[in-house]
Structure formats: C-alpha cells, structure tokens
C-alpha cells in the first residue's frame, strides 16, 4: 500500500499522468504491488505560485526537468529491491514522460502496519 507524491516543474496533466503511471508500474514490476493499489498526489509547479529547488549534489546535474518522487510504504523490502525500484522508476519516467533519469529524485519512507488507515477510521493492516 504505497502512498506516492510526485512534484514536477511546469508540468501539465499529461506529463503528471505519465509520471504517475511510471512510478505505479515500477512499484508493480519490482515490489509486487497489486495493480489496483494506486494512491497518488501529483503536483505541477509553475514557478510563480510554487516552485522546486535543486542543486548538483553527489555529482548528479539536475535542471528544471527535476521530478521529486516521495513514496511512503510499509517496511520490509531489501536494499536490492529498493535499488531495482529506483532504476525502474527512472527507466519508465524517461519512456513515458521523457524525463531524463538524472532528473528523477526518489525517496522512500517506511512505516509499520499500524501506521495506515485506508478508510472508515480503521487500521486495516492490524490484526
């Protein structure tokens, strides 16, 4: 049950949709997330009312094509699975949305079963 937030510069609905599909497909491909388990907030920033900031950190040159992907999910994946996820997101963001892989910035935040309520005020993952 990942919860995904995607932020990108000067992005219309088509590009945001493509980025959302890229991340979702990567989650399905690499972590085995069910295809109907999609919860995303997609935000385009216009530079006037809202914007994004980035630098060339750790030798990666980023530009206005930057896409920030923040994924919250239950813990338990290996470092290898996470690395496969990052690679697949970058591949699909390029294929679906034309985003250069160097501009795909991904963070994962893990939590426990009791940290989720999927509706009705219940913690569905808690037995």
Mode of pairing for the β-strands spanning 67-74 and 40-45: unpaired
- Secondary structure tally for the chain: helices H, strands E: 2, 4
The residues facing 105 across adjacent strands are: 68
What is residue 57's three-state secondary structure? helix
Of the residues 2, 34, 35, 101, which is catalytic? 2
Residue 18: partners with Cβ closer than 8 Å, 6 or more residues away: 93, 96, 97
Tokens standing for 82?
Answer: 């996470």
Q: Which helix (H) or strand (E) holds 109?
A: strand 104-111
2 is catalytic: yes
The residues annotated with a catalytic role in the active site are 2
């Amino acid at each position: 049950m990942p919860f995904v937030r995607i932020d990108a510069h000067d992005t219309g609905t088509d590009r945001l949709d493509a980025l959302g599909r890229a991340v979702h497909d990567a989650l399905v491909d690499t972590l085995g997330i069910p295809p109907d388990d999609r919860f995303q907030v997609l935000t385009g920033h216009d530079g006037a009312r809202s914007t994004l900031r980035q630098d060339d950190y750790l030798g990666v040159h980023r530009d206005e094509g930057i896409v920030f992907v923040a994924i919250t999910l239950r813990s338990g994946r290996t470092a290898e699975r996470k690395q496969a996820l990052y690679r697949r997101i970058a591949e699909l963001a390029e294929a679906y949305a034309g985003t250069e892989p160097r501009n795909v910035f991904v963070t994962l935040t893990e939590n426990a079963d009791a940290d989720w309520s999927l509706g009705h005020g219940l913690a569905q993952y808690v037995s």
